[in-house]
Amino acid sequence: MDYRNKLVLAPMVRVGTLPFRLLAVQYGADITYGEEIIDHKMVKCERHVNESLGAIDFVERGTNSVVFRTCCEERDRVVFQMGTANAVRALTAAQIVCKDVAAIDINMGCPKSFSISGGMGAALLSNPELIHDILTTLRRNLDTVVTCKIRLLNSSQDTIELARRIEKTGVSALAIHGRRVKDRPRDPAKWNEIADVVASLSIPVIANGDVFEYEDFGRIKDATGASSVMVARGALWNASIFCAKGKSSWEDVKREYVRKCILWDNDIKSTKHTLKEMITHYSSLELAEGKAVIKSETTADLATIYGEEEYYHFVTSNRP
């Protein structure tokens, strides 16, 4: 994995599944992060080759629950992001999936209560010894690239000190969300503090925060000196943000997403969640489209809403 001059899809829970990752790649993303998967969940999984879809599934033992789905097409660009607070368990989980992904990333920035309460995500920011233990354990025992994603700490100097400690573990890159844990999405990202970290490290830094148009990729790179740029909400609202020629229409992007969900048999709850997030930004769930998506119970229902019935029947009737 080369982390220089790349456009990166950020990890997003319930959004960053295989169809959305491939959608982002179609529009120009170079690297895509999957949604955060908790180590406890991954260690219960077995690897299955899904010949019907041409996919690789990591399925929770004793269930039909697909925890992570990938495919050969994204092998060299997909990053498996993990939530963990235990080095040994993190290694066990990583060993299950590492041969099918381009890199393993440790989430150290999620401020949600489900992560923090388990000592994961942003809770790790206040535990540098555990960070060191997790990252060095992975680096010593895996041939796969290892990275991590953090948020800003209370002061720029604190962030720099932590970033330097992370760099010493031998990780290949560091992604930084330019907000603190207490900040809300509406608060402006602090690009100047990302720049302070970039100036203090020799490994590639991926800058994340307030990228909503293609031009913002260049703006944040110029402002921070970062090697690459990561986008979350801007891509969620319209995945064609990665396209240098300009965004595709919102309607076309939604239909293309639905087609990919049909092709890869995406979980209906995940598909509906992502569509609702797309709709909410530009419209309202109270209008006809939003109500129809909420009422839908199957991918076939969504195909009907978005005029993709013929494609749905073609794909599903030709599966082995």
Per-residue model confidence (pLDDT) at position 320: 85
Whole-angstrom Cα distance, residue 128 to residue 49? 38
Structure tokens belonging to residue 305: 């809403």
Cβ distance 233 to 210 under 8 Å?
A: no
Whole-angstrom Cα distance, residue 12 to residue 35? 5
| Secondary element (H or E) of residue 163 | helix 156-168
Per-residue model confidence (pLDDT) at position 172: 98
Q: Which amino acid is at 18?
A: L
Per-residue model confidence (pLDDT) at position 112: 82
| Secondary element (H or E) of residue 113 | helix 113-116
Dihedral angle sign, alpha carbons of residues 189, 147, 231, 81: negative
Whose structure tokens read 């199957």? 298
Structure tokens belonging to residue 34: 């999957």
Whole-angstrom Cα distance, residue 250 to residue 269? 21
Q: Which fold has domain 7-242?
A: TIM Barrel (3.20.20)
Of 65, 120, 75, 114, the residue nearest 97 (C-alpha) = 75
Query: 213: which DSSP letter?
Result: S
Going residue by residue through the chain, which has 320 residues, state the pLDDT in tens, using 9 for 90 and above: 899 999 999 999 999 999 999 999 999 999 999 999 999 999 999 999 999 999 999 999 999 899 999 999 999 999 999 999 999 999 999 999 999 999 999 999 988 887 887 899 999 999 999 999 999 999 999 999 999 999 999 999 999 999 999 999 999 999 999 999 898 889 999 999 999 999 999 999 999 999 999 999 999 999 999 999 999 999 999 999 999 999 999 999 999 999 999 999 999 999 999 999 999 998 999 999 999 999 999 999 999 999 999 999 999 999 98
Strands (E), the chain: 7-9, 31-33, 37-38, 45-50, 55-60, 66-70, 78-83, 103-108, 145-152, 173-180, 205-208, 228-231
Whole-angstrom Cα distance, residue 249 to residue 231? 19
Rg (CA), the chain: 19
Whose structure tokens read 């076939």? 300
Strands (E), 173-253: 173-180, 205-208, 228-231
Query: So where are the chain's domains?
Result: 7-242, 250-317
Contacts of 196 (CB under 8 A, 6+ apart): 156, 159, 160
110 is catalytic: yes
Per-residue model confidence (pLDDT) at position 187: 93
- Kindly name the residue from 45, 110, 148, 261 that is annotated as catalytic: 110
Largest CA distance in the chain: 58
Per-residue model confidence (pLDDT) at position 117: 79
Per-residue model confidence (pLDDT) at position 271: 98
* CB-neighbour burial class of residue 292 (10 A; exposed 0-12, middle 13-18, buried 19+): middle
